[in-house]
Amino acid sequence: MLNRDPAMNEAQTPEHRHDCRLDGQVALVTAGGNGIGEGIVMALARQGADIALADIDAASGERVAAAVRSLGRSAFFVQTDMADTQAARGMVSQVAEHFGRIDILANNAGGGRPVAFMEQSERSWRRHIDLNLVSMLTATQAAAEVMIAGRRGGCIVNIASSEALRAAPGYAVYAACKAGMVSFTRSMALELADHDIRVHALAPDMIDTPGLRPYYAQASAADIDSRDRYIPMRRMGTMDEMGDIVAFLVSGMASYLNGVTLPVDGGASASHGWTRAPGSRKWVLHHA
């Protein structure tokens, strides 16, 4: 983070850091009690940030908060249903009151259940929108207010999905929300630039988290083989790998990066239809 006063002379360039250290900064991570959120929390704490995390599940949130404290950093957990706008706003206020500042926000709350759109109820699609899209809008507005008042700049990272960038049959509303996150990221990168708040999105695919494990516990060897054939790196990503990318994006090492959507997918989006042939490392186009 740059600690730049937005009123500074335009000819000056901000101080540039050559490491990812975040000492003295406060990071807020939504749905930080498991999976990608937990990976982000731990990566930011390892770089020296104090951590606020919100999660609907108290046991998970308290477990991760304890892990942060064991690294010597402060942790503040607020049990929150991020789909509840009032609760999400209240949570950000509590965090600002507790730490007196917010420098980093990771909008990670989200998820979806598979259902064909023609069979999806309005209640279900509204729940998807509230959890994936509205939670980000609420937390962004509330946390950016704190960042702007602090005049120290900041960084917001929105955890979208590879589904934001491609079709997702069975996940149409989830994918539309994630595409909305990517669009919102670009607009905020412009609207918040005068306050030295940078805004990014990540588009992960196949990160090994508790959320995905039940699916792969039931998957056949053929399912796993076909997954590993379309991912050029031939494996899933880890929570720690996601966290370290967020740590880089929010750090002074990335001080001139703003408004990007970065696929975190082992090269899957680059392959665009190329996969490995079954039982082989040979690349083929549009193989079944």
Catalytic (active-site) positions: 174
The minimum distance between CB 139 and ligand NAD, in angstroms, equals: 10
Burial of 213 (0-12, 13-18, 19+ CB in 10 A): exposed
Give dist(CA 254, CA 17) in Å, integer: 9
- Considering the complex, state which of residue 1 and residue 177 has its C-beta at the smaller distance from ligand NAD: 177
Which residue has the CB atom at the shortest distance from ligand NAD? 35
Give dist(CA 276, CA 287) in Å, integer: 8
Q: Length of the chain, please?
A: 288
Nearest in space to 173 (alpha carbons), one of 119, 215, 112: 112
- Considering the complex, state which of residue 47 and residue 138 has its C-beta at the smaller distance from ligand NAD: 138
- Considering the complex, state which of residue 17 and residue 166 has its C-beta at the smaller distance from ligand NAD: 166
The minimum distance between CB 84 and ligand NAD, in angstroms, equals: 8
The minimum distance between CB 243 and ligand NAD, in angstroms, equals: 11
Please check whether residue 105 is in contact with residue 146, taking contact to mean a CB–CB distance below 8 angstroms: no
- Considering the complex, state which of residue 25 and residue 132 has its C-beta at the smaller distance from ligand NAD: 132
Two tokens at 267?
């090269």
Which positions touch ligand NAD (CB under 6 A)?
31, 33-37, 55-57, 60, 80-83, 108-111, 131, 159, 161, 204-207, 209-212
User: What residue type is assigned to position 285 of the chain?
Assistant: L
- How many Cβ atoms from other residues are within 10 Å of residue 257's Cβ? 14
DSSP result, 3-26: ---TTS-TTS-----SS---TT-E
Give dist(CA 114, CA 282) in Å, integer: 32
- Considering the complex, state which of residue 60 and residue 258 has its C-beta at the smaller distance from ligand NAD: 60
The minimum distance between CB 12 and ligand NAD, in angstroms, equals: 37
The minimum distance between CB 107 and ligand NAD, in angstroms, equals: 8
- How many Cβ atoms from other residues are within 10 Å of residue 252's Cβ? 17
Please check whether residue 196 is in contact with residue 2, taking contact to mean a CB–CB distance below 8 angstroms: yes
